[in-house]
Amino acid sequence: MASSSRPPVQRIRPPKAPYRVVNRVMRWLLSTPSRARRVGRHLLLLHVTGRRTGRELVFPVAYRQAGGGELLVLTNSPWRVNLRDRPDVAVTLLGRRRAARARLVEEPERVAEVYHRLIEEVGHQRAGRRMGIRINVPRTPTHEELADAARRDGLALVYLDLTGEQR
């Protein structure tokens, strides 16, 4: 049951210490074809360049097919700012590193539209955990509730185009 102090939709903030270990293990598992066979169907490694440091940062992320050769990553993580006006990235998909172009979508209305569609596809009972959010209402959140969560919690979409080479 949702309490009055909690918004209908909110970001999940996993504990940092365990995730450092989990991410290290996932980077190892996803880095080669033989190890990535099992876990790589829904996870990939996203390689981005840090805006301030210029260093390569590698993040294990969940993805889904978006159509047209693109993959979709839902995120509310701070690393997404590294993609603003910097579309050239790489991904390690099923253990093979490939060039990709990233398109970051942070507009709350567009983010809400995609989240709403995906929640409808999976059902609100199961969608939250899969999407990195907590749904605090016993129904599919409205477009307005999702747009509010996008503004408040930084929900964003990252489309990855694997069809073209980096320019």
Which tens digits make up the pLDDT trace of 39-73?
A: 888 999 999 999 989 999 999 999 999 988 899 99
CB-based contacts of 152: which residues, under 8 Å, 6+ apart?
7, 10
Q: Which of 109, 144, 150 is nearest to 131 (CA)?
A: 150
- For residue 3, being part of any structural domain is answered with no
* Number of domains, the chain: 1
DSSP 118: H
Cα 75 to chain centroid distance, Å, stands at: 3
Kindly give the parts of the chain with pLDDT less than 50: 1-3, 166-167
Residue 24 lies in a domain: yes
**Could you tell me the maximum CA-CA distance found in the chain, to the nearest angstrom?**
50
- Domain region containing 28: 9-161
Predicted local confidence at residue 1, as pLDDT: 47
**Is residue 38 in a domain?**
yes
pLDDT value, residue 4 = 60
Candidates 108, 102, 65; CA nearest to 86 is 102
Q: How many residues in the chain?
A: 167
Q: Is residue 138 part of a domain?
A: yes
Q: Is residue 166 part of a domain?
A: no
- Distances in whole angstroms, Cα of residue 132 to Cα of each of 7, 61, 104, 157: 15, 11, 17, 12
At 130 the pLDDT is 82
Residue 164 has a pLDDT of 60
pLDDT score recorded for residue 166: 43
Tokens found for residue 99: 């060039």
Listed in order, strand segments (DSSP E) in the chain are 9-11, 43-49, 56-62, 64-67, 70-75, 88-93, 96-105, 133-135, 156-161
Contact yes or no for 73/62 (Cβ under 8 A): yes
pTM for the model stands at: 0.90
39 within domain boundaries: yes
Residue 57's domain is classified under what CATH number? 2.30.110.10
**In-domain check, residue 31:** yes
